[in-house]
């Protein structure tokens, strides 16, 4: 039986991915900053562990408790929407700590066991903002774009040891709590001077032509984790797929 460890599994993509892998017969280690046993099915193949990807001790403790794993899904992230000019640099750094350095830290921590076994897969969840430039997402895009480059390069060096690295690029999912874990209100990041520019953008958010669902992402993560070919990027959701095709 194969085991997957998923970060950020308390809601959205991570929660649905945990449920999906469990339904496929895998053993699932669902990690989150504040563990909640009630949101996932009771099963001998489902385990919830505390994990803060920005804390080295938390990473070490979680991986020790998890034991041997076959797949790591780096899903934990912080959403951020707003004008870059109005975004405090202290918060930009916080976004990078989770979205970028947290992913790198988790990846570095699991590489030794994968390398020793010459098997395993790392799936990094980024965003469709990496597929096309999007407004009011400069800092967030930067944090995710860094992981795109990181994973592409990493796939080469880990491939030498039979270890795979993949990217899943979700589109816009209005049913998720994208910015709910942000400490900043979107309204505070749109100065009056940006109001005219931002108004049609937020209107578009309310009436998107194509969207992504949590299930779309779970299925893409599953496909990426089980892909034995050379495919690196897996767009997830109708809007992300359309962007990838037009890129």
Active site residues: 140
A 10 A CB-CB count for 186 gives: 15
Which of 35-63 are b and which e, b meaning 16 or more Cβ less than 10 Å from the residue's Cβ? eeeeebeeeeebbbbebbbbeeebbeebb
| CA–CA separation, 145 and 163 (whole Å) | 22
Instruction: Read off the tokens for 27.
Output: 């053993």
Is-contact 33 52, C-beta < 8 A?
yes
| CA–CA separation, 91 and 123 (whole Å) | 26
A 10 A CB-CB count for 75 gives: 26
Which helix H or strand E contains 123, and what residues bound it? Answer: strand 121-125
DSSP-assigned letter for residue 184: S
Of 80, 29, 77, 33, the closest CA to residue 55 belongs to 33
Is-contact 168 224, C-beta < 8 A?
yes
Is-contact 171 237, C-beta < 8 A?
yes
Instruction: Read off the tokens for 209.
Output: 């032509």
């Amino acid at each position: 039986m194969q085991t997957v460890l998923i970060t950020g599994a308390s809601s959205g993509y991570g929660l649905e991915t945990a449920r999906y892998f469990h339904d496929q017969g895998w053993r699932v280690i669902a990690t989150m900053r504040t563990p909640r046993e009630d949101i996932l099915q009771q099963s001998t193949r489902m385990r919830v562990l505390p994990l803060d990807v920005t804390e080295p001790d938390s990473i070490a403790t979680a991986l020790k408790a998890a034991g041997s794993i076959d797949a790591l899904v780096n899903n934990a992230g912080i959403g951020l929407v707003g004008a870059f000019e109005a975004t405090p640099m202290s918060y930009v750094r916080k976004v990078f700590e989770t979205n970028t350095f947290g992913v790198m830290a988790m990846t570095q921590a699991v590489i030794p066991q994968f390398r020793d076994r010459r098997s395993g897969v790392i799936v990094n969840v980024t965003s469709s903002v990496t597929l096309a430039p999007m407004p009011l997402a400069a800092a967030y895009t930067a944090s995710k774009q860094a992981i795109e480059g990181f994973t592409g390069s990493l796939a080469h060096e880990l491939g030498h040891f039979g270890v795979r690295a993949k990217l899943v690029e979700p589109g816009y999912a209005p049913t998720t709590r994208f910015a709910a874990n942000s400490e900043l209100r979107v309204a505070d990041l749109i100065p009056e001077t940006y109001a005219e520019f931002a108004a049609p953008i937020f209107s578009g958010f309310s009436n998107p032509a194509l969207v992504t669902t949590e299930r779309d992402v779970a299925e893409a993560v599953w496909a990426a984790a089980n892909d034995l070919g050379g495919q690196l990027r897996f767009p997830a959701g109708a809007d992300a797929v359309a962007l990838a095709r037009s890129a």
